[in-house]
Amino acid sequence: MNRQALIQLIVRKRSFLCIGLDSDLAKIPSHLLTEEDPVFTFNRAIIDATHDLAIAYKPNFAFYESRGTAGWQSLTRTINYIRDTYPGQLFTIADAKRGDIGNTSGQYACTVFDPRSSGLEFDAVTVAPYMGEDSVKPFLAYSGKWVILLALTSNKGAEDFQFFGPRDHPLFKEVLTKSTTWGDTGNMMYVIGATQAKMLGEVRNLVPDHFLLVPGVGAQGGSLAAVAENGLNQDCGLIVNSSRDILFASSGTDFAMKARAAATILQAEMEQILIKSPATGRAFH
């Protein structure tokens, strides 16, 4: 999906909500455990209940890999279901945080972008920057696909290395500035944790036009209003993720309905933000 199509999704749905499909088998409603593929059944119900409120879904690979081949089957079914049922209506993010030497990153790119190879086809993949340019470039070789590079993450450990270096130009800023030359605003985004909302203004100074994927709203403590205030640009430029607050809004048979209710609250808040923001107001009035 190219940038223009992504922006059109945001405008049409009046939302920049991504739902993180961190579908932990131990946390999904117990009545689903008798299904042949409980995680896929759960995901399908969540997607059907929220597809008009969200612009994107983001399965975190850890929750699938941890169940081995069975987990990969759930992941494959989920991503194929989205593409077959809602074609062109949803942006899909492989939250895999991959990165290796060049030829090996090429194999990871096959995994997430080439369905003839892996059975999977996402629109975007999260990539870790530590190994540098040749670990990122192979993902950028796919037309219409995106790299979402980790810059400033939402966890406590972000402080350990992401702020290393000169006070006014720590590592995460070096990652932002150096990597902008590897791709462009049509094939690269950055992960900026919502818990880092106070840093979003500084991030925007370095990458004013890129989309930012913002996890950490809700369960991890980030505020949507603060993120929007510091992060919106004229194209919205934000994809804000919520996982647990939506997925596990109820552990009963009403889980999908409760997920929709939770997503509706976020979408409504996002719509108000888009209408009221000086950055985006013109497009959304």
Structure tokens at 265: 């609250």
Q: By CB under 8 A, name the one of 14, 81, 86, 119 that touches a second copy.
A: 119
Q: Going by DSSP bridges, is the β-strand pair 211-214/91-98 parallel, antiparallel, or unpaired?
A: unpaired
Nearer to a second copy, 129 or 218 (CB): 129
27 touches a second copy (CB under 8 A)? no
Q: Note whether 30 binds a second copy by CB under 8 A.
A: no
Annotate each residue in 184-223 with x if it binds a second copy (CB under 8 A) or - if it does not, as one string.
Answer: ------------------------------------x---
Name the helix (H) or strand (E) containing 242. strand 238-242
Residues 32-61 that bind a second copy (CB under 8 A): 60
Least gap, CB of 52 to a second copy (angstroms) = 28
> Closest Cα to residue 132, out of 104, 93, 99?
99
- Nearest-approach distance from CB 11 to a second copy, in angstroms: 31
Q: Is 71 in the site for a second copy (CB under 8 A)?
A: yes
Inter-CA distances, 118 with 21, 70, 72, 85, 187, Å: 19, 15, 10, 20, 21
- Of 13, 27, 97, 178, which residue is the catalytic one? 97
As measured in angstroms, the least distance from the Cβ of 280 to a second copy is 29
Q: What is residue 189's DSSP assignment?
A: E
Structure tokens at 29: 């409603």
Please list, residue by residue across 220-241, b when 16 or more beta carbons sit within 10 angstroms of its beta carbon and e when fewer do.
Answer: bebebebbbebbbbebbbbbbb
Judged by CB under 8 A, the stretch of 81-89, 153-161, 230-238, 277-285 that binds a second copy is 153-161
Contact yes or no for 255/209 (Cβ under 8 A): no
Strands 211-214 and 188-192: parallel
Q: x/- binding map, residues 220-249, to a second copy, per CB under 8 A?
A: x-----------------------------
Segment near a second copy (CB under 8 A), from 3-11, 42-50, 112-120, 232-240? 112-120
Between residues 171 and 226, which has the closer beta carbon with respect to a second copy? 171
Other Cβ atoms closer than 10 A to 79 = 22
**Beta carbon nearer to a second copy, 39 or 49:** 39
Residue type at position 256: A
Q: Is residue 80 part of the contact set for a second copy (CB under 8 A)?
A: no
Stretch of 30-38, 131-139, 234-242, 251-259 lying at the interface with a second copy (CB under 8 A): 131-139
Restricted to residues 252-281, the positions that interact with a second copy (CB under 8 A) are none
Q: Is 97 a catalytic site residue?
A: yes
Distances (CA, A) of 225 to 39, 60, 193, 263: 32, 25, 14, 16
256 closest CA partner among 101, 74, 41: 41
* 158 touches a second copy by CB under 8 A: yes
Closest to a second copy by CB, 19 or 175: 175
Task: Count the site residues for a second copy by CB under 8 A.
Answer: 59
Stretch that binds a second copy, among 81-89, 105-113, 206-214, 272-280 (CB under 8 A): 105-113
Report the chain's terminal Cα–Cα distance, integer Å: 25
Catalytic positions, please? 97
